[in-house]
Amino acid sequence: MIRAVLILLATCLLLSLSACATKKPEKKTPDAEDRTKILTPFEQLSLKSDAKTVFEDQGKFILLEGKKCMQRDNGAEPVTLLQWIEMPDYVDSGTVVLNGWDLRYLNQDREVNSMRADITHSKLVKNTGSTVLVFEAKGTLEDQSRKDAFEFCVFYTALGYHSTAIDATIEEDHNGIESSVVQTENQGAVATLENTGHKGMLRKYDAVAIIPRGFDFQYTDTFECEWRLWPCQWGDRVDYRLLQVAYNLSQASAAPSLGGTPHWVTQTIFKDNNTHTHRIKTRAAQIRGRSVKLHGDFLALNPRTGKTDTCRKSADGVVRTQTVRINELPYDYAIPMLTGWELVNECEHQRVQRAGIWIHDIRFDPQAGYLEYKVSSILRDQDGAPSFNSAHRITVLGLNRLSSSEKKRAPRFRLKIRD
């Protein structure tokens, strides 16, 4: 009973959600899979998450991973996913990381107007005898007409810990920090969004890490008349084939600026063979404290232009998976975060049937000091040819337990009373 009340309370704290349609597409693309009927948000909350535990230090820390998929019979509204994860009783702080996405048209390949994978809200709700982490994710894959059925899968990593063991505070967790910009074709293909947190929010011994939560790309032109059976309408929006889509969130270091202000930069690419004006939105959260550590990597975004003659034209539209290991991590706990990725068609722009990149099968061994994960990616049109290339970047969020002396350290106040 308490758990049901907590889930309902958490839902009320999120945005108001509309029910999804339940029509099931008859035709499917070659790699489409059967799914259950589309559920309303409240029906989704009746189903427990199937997230699996990656690592747990009993009484102190837990790391879980999972995914959830849902279909919509048209693109008029985004897919809205609600997920709740039951946490151990000792968890009094926790959050979720967007660690991948998978979008596909269910009936055929299409040009693209917008792509979105976004964890819009997150909330840890705790009461006597029950602790749940609830989050909401939205996904979009739209062409000009918004009439095509599509599927959205979100891949996530959830972490929870006890604050007496780990000094870390999660900031902007519920709504995230949203940034947006309109990138004109004259500005080039690479858009840059600079973010600055609240001034003075960090203590002198704090470190900070930025948690990726989502992206939303959309071409901004409002009208395009294409040759087709039905005449075009004034409300038709532009859509294009896809050559390259990319995202890269980076911060110079975990240390704040002199004013105690966190700073990070996000760069994106969304284009066909040419560059067009489009809107970008990104979302992130923050975690700060003396337990927070950061292990970064590098990913350079280089925009592709036009057609190349050096490409493989054989059918290759399958999911690619590779295993990656990071050694010698000096952390008590390590959380991989997908902070950068790139998908690019090898020859030239193509219509899109499926696109996505995600990490999964995470393994962490604190004794050996290594973190291992698998990364999968896909970019294809209807026939799966030509091939595609992908790249990714992982930032490791490290958390260290407090020592006995650090646990005893507390703010000291001096109070002087006048006679």
Number of H helices, E strands in the chain: 3, 20
pLDDT exceeds cutoff 70 at 178: yes
According to the model, what pLDDT value does residue 76 have?
Answer: 86
pLDDT in tens, 356-386: 999 999 999 999 999 999 999 999 998 888 8
Lowest mean pLDDT among 8-12, 81-85, 97-101, 306-310: 8-12
What does the DSSP assignment read for 8-61?
A: HHHHHHS---PPPP----S---TT----PPP--HHHHHTSPP--EEEEEETTTE
Provide the pLDDT confidence category of residue 18 given band limits of 50, 70 and 90.
Answer: very low
According to the model, what pLDDT value does residue 220 have?
Answer: 84
DSSP state of 346: S
Burial label for 357, CB within 10 Å (0-12, 13-18, 19+), is: buried
Predicted TM-score (pTM) of the model is 0.85
pLDDT exceeds cutoff 60 at 295: yes
Considering 184-198, 258-272, 317-331, the range whose residues carry the highest mean pLDDT is 317-331
Please give the residue that has the higher pLDDT: either 150 or 225.
Answer: 150
Q: Given the structure tokens 């918004």, which residue do they identify?
A: 146
Strand partners of residue 127: 130
According to the model, what pLDDT value does residue 22 have?
Answer: 37
Lowest mean pLDDT among 10-19, 129-138, 183-192, 272-281: 10-19
Please give the residue that has the higher pLDDT: either 228 or 79.
Answer: 79
pLDDT exceeds cutoff 80 at 409: no
Can you tell me the distance from the alpha carbon of 287 to that of 264, in angstroms, rounded to the nearest whole number? Answer: 13
Collapsing DSSP states into helix, strand and coil, what is residue 4?
helix
> What Rg do the C-alpha atoms of the chain give, in angstroms?
22
According to the model, what pLDDT value does residue 263 have?
Answer: 85
User: Measured on CA atoms in the order 250, 206, 398, 367, is the torsion positive or negative?
Assistant: positive
What average pLDDT does range 280-305 have in this prediction? Answer: 92
pLDDT exceeds cutoff 50 at 414: no
Distance linking the first and last C-alpha atoms of the chain: 56
According to the model, what pLDDT value does residue 223 have?
Answer: 57
Tokens standing for 306?
Answer: 């036009």
Lowest mean pLDDT among 171-175, 199-203, 356-360: 199-203
Tokens standing for 341?
Answer: 């990725």
Cβ–Cβ < 8 Å for 285, 262? no
What average pLDDT does range 264-269 have in this prediction? Answer: 96
Lowest mean pLDDT among 16-25, 221-230, 301-310: 16-25
According to the model, what pLDDT value does residue 202 have?
Answer: 63
Closest among 75, 79, 80 to 110, alpha carbons compared? 75
According to the model, what pLDDT value does residue 19 have?
Answer: 37
Please give the residue that has the higher pLDDT: either 238 or 196.
Answer: 238
Can you tell me the distance from the alpha carbon of 189 to that of 171, in angstroms, rounded to the nearest whole number? Answer: 31
Cβ–Cβ < 8 Å for 284, 249? yes
pLDDT in tens, 316-361: 778 999 999 999 999 999 999 999 999 999 889 999 999 999 999 9
According to the model, what pLDDT value does residue 145 have?
Answer: 85
Can you tell me the distance from the alpha carbon of 63 to that of 91, in angstroms, rounded to the nearest whole number? Answer: 11
Lowest mean pLDDT among 23-32, 137-146, 344-353: 23-32
According to the model, what pLDDT value does residue 268 have?
Answer: 98
Please give the residue that has the higher pLDDT: either 156 or 17.
Answer: 156
For residues 266-282, one letter each, b for 16 or more C-beta atoms within 10 angstroms of the residue's C-beta and e for the rest, the string is bbbbbbbbebbebbbbb
Can you tell me the distance from the alpha carbon of 139 to that of 133, in angstroms, rounded to the nearest whole number? Answer: 20
Mean residue pLDDT of the chain comes to 84
HEC string of 280-322 equals EEEEEEEEEECCEEEECCCCCCCCCCCCCCCCCCCCCCCCEEE
Residue % of the chain over a pLDDT of 90: 63
According to the model, what pLDDT value does residue 226 have?
Answer: 56
According to the model, what pLDDT value does residue 418 have?
Answer: 42
pLDDT exceeds cutoff 80 at 254: no
Tokens standing for 71?
Answer: 């279909």
Cβ–Cβ < 8 Å for 266, 207? no
What average pLDDT does range 99-122 have in this prediction? Answer: 96
According to the model, what pLDDT value does residue 98 have?
Answer: 98
Residue % of the chain over a pLDDT of 70: 77
Please give the residue that has the higher pLDDT: either 122 or 75.
Answer: 122
What average pLDDT does range 299-306 have in this prediction? Answer: 87
